[in-house]
Structure 1
Amino acid sequence: MLVLIAGITGFVGIPCARSAFAYGLEVRGLARNINNLPEDVRSRLEGFETMSSPYDVAAMDRATKGVDAIICSFAGIPEMFMDSQLLLIRAAERAGVKIFHATSWNYDWTLSPGSHEIYDDMRGFAHHVAVSSTIKPIYMFTGAIAEYYFKRSPYDWDAETKTFSFHGSSNFPTRYTTAEDIGNYVLEAITAPNAADGGFVRVQSFEASPEDIVKAYSAAREGSITAKLNCLGSVKDAENKLNEGRAENGKGGWYNFIRYCYQYHIPARSWDYEPVDVARFPNVKQTSLEEFFRRNPEV
């Protein structure tokens, strides 16, 4: 089985590639720069197509030719979620590809329209494809991606001071899935007998409250380093900051306030789901929070 991973150089694309290799599959990459891949992935690729821009249809046509399945892990910006992904699925149609895993790894973005600017794009893409394409994509709900929270979002985790910031109760749990587990779940989904039927998949690695984070961090570091909590206010405070950000920046300035979408809507349970499909994929060993911290000593 030959799998195309579009956006392979991203922090979800790379784990998907490693999982595909572990499953014994061939992998072709599509992205802007092959040099952004680690050597263990780059050296094993069947091929690589370079995108000159998010709208490089010729590269997409070359990349989709002869593949059996596509994993789209384009970057989390509106142009890529909507424009590039739609161009890619049209290329997949021309190539006769039936299995397409869409960019989707978040909370349940089918819920609460208007609550999150990028979730609205995801929902809009899914609707448009449902009414216009012969392909039925797979969409996966994973909650928060652990690597994003603890490696890429200083608003949530300060790696220097080991401080986790939040709104609301320190006992309220958030659903998380690690990028490695996402890669394994995705490969299970695209190799399942009914993969071409598409649909929604709901999984997670673990649930953790801010207090759980402090305990797990201390355990993973064997007490040598202690994490701290920083409560930024109530859930209502987060809602007020979100509304103020929208009023000040408009939809085009979504990146200035999008963090408050999560800080408000996760504890408000606006997008919550049950990870019912974990049982469908018993081959995926769920990573625990403590394991995640142990595997990422730089966090």
Structure 2
Amino acid sequence: MLVLIAGIIGINPDKPSEDLSAALEGFVKMTDAYDLAVLQKAVERVGALICAFPAHPEAVVEGQLLLRRAGERAGVKTHGSARPSSPSTALRAPPWSGELAHLDRPKIIDAMSRVARYLSDGTKGLLWTSADDLAAYTIEAGSEPGAADGARYGVQSFPTSPLEMMETYERGRGVRLERQSLGSLSEVEDMLAQARASTPPSGHPEYIWLTYPKYMVNGTWDYETPGCEPGPGIK
């Protein structure tokens, strides 16, 4: 089955790397999310769509809708959506679409300065998903017999706290990291409330980063039942 991965090289690069090019059957470049002619050409002959657009509002919302509509016109039934949000609160996709939810994680370890940053006391267990595992789960979900009927997946590679992650890093690299707490959860919540009160909705990119540590640490983004049992295509 031919699979289209939209956004595979990110926002800025003009073309994929040599290694990536060797693994692709073809590549088309869009000028922006509204390049409908190129978008329609990209979905020809594909059996499934996987959206790897970056977490930018225009790309995630309008870009994905245009991709879905192009897929509909081409008869594509399986669509893996990019949705960096809580699976319990996000809107459910149409029944013909498969979704794979994941959470972007802020950078905790700065290897250059050897500083490790965390919120609160760093003991709250967080859910982590590696890029390789996310790719494997996406392919597995899109290859299932009932993929076109729609499904929702909350996956993870492993749970661990920031402090445990730092200790593992130190043992593996043979270095010592400086611990740096970024403040308590209540302090982050106060900063977020002040930013929302003083910034119009159109300016949300200026403070949205404050929501990530808030919802990760208070447990809002924890999966109640991670649907990540290994399938036949996952090692």
Same fold (TM over 0.5): yes
Q: Report the Cα offset of residue 78 of structure 1.
A: 0.7
Q: Is the 8 A contact 1:165 1:230 kept in 2?
A: yes
Is the Cα contact below 8 Å between 1:107 and 1:272 reproduced in 2? no
Structure 2 match to 1:6 = 6
Q: 2:145 aligns with which of 169, 186, 193?
A: 193
Contact in 2 for aligned 1:4/1:63 (Cα 8 Å) = yes
List alignment gaps of at least 5 residues for structure 1: 11-30, 112-122, 151-155, 286-299
Supply the distance in 1 between the matched residues of 2:7 and 2:225 (Cα, whole angstroms).
Answer: 26
Q: What RMSD in Å do the two structures reach over aligned CA positions?
A: 2.1
Point out the structure with the larger helix share: 1
Cα distance, 1:102 vs structure 2 = 0.7
Q: Is the 8 A contact 1:165 1:231 kept in 2?
A: yes
SS of the residue corresponding to residue 279 of structure 1 reads coil
Taking a change above 3 Å as real, the CA distance of residues 272 and 282 of structure 1, as seen in their structure-2 partners, is farther
Matched, 1:237 2:187: yes
- Match of 1:202? 154
- Quote the sequence identity (%): 33
Q: Match of 1:142, as an amino acid?
A: H
Aligned equivalent of 2:177? 227
Paired residue secondary structure (2:23): coil
State the alpha-carbon separation in 2 of the partners of residues 275 and 220 from structure 1. Answer: 31
Corresponding position: 1:108 with 2:95 = no
Partner of residue 223, structure 2: 273
The verdict on how the C-alpha distance between 1:71 and 1:48 changes in structure 2, with shifts beyond 3 A counting, is: same
* Correspondences of 1:118-137 after superposition (within 5 Å): 123=90, 126=91, 130=94, 136-137=96-97
Residue pair 1:188, 1:281 contacting (<8 A) in 2 also? yes
1:115-161 deviation digits (Å, cap 9, x = unpaired): xxxxxxxx3xx45x53xxxx62222233445xxx34xxxxx443322
> SS state of the match for residue 113, structure 2?
coil
Q: Is the 8 A contact 2:154 2:227 kept in 1?
A: yes
Q: Which position in structure 2 is the counterpart of 1:17?
A: none
TM-score, normalization by structure 1: 0.72
Structure 1 counterpart of 2:147, one-letter code: A
Which runs of structure 2 are paired with 1:59-78 in the superposition (5 Å)? 59-78=38-57
- Structure 2 residue runs without a partner (length 5+): none
Q: Which residue of 1 aligns with 2:101?
A: 141
Report the TM-score when normalising by structure 2.
0.91
Partner of 2:24: 45
Q: SS state of the match for residue 201, structure 1?
A: strand
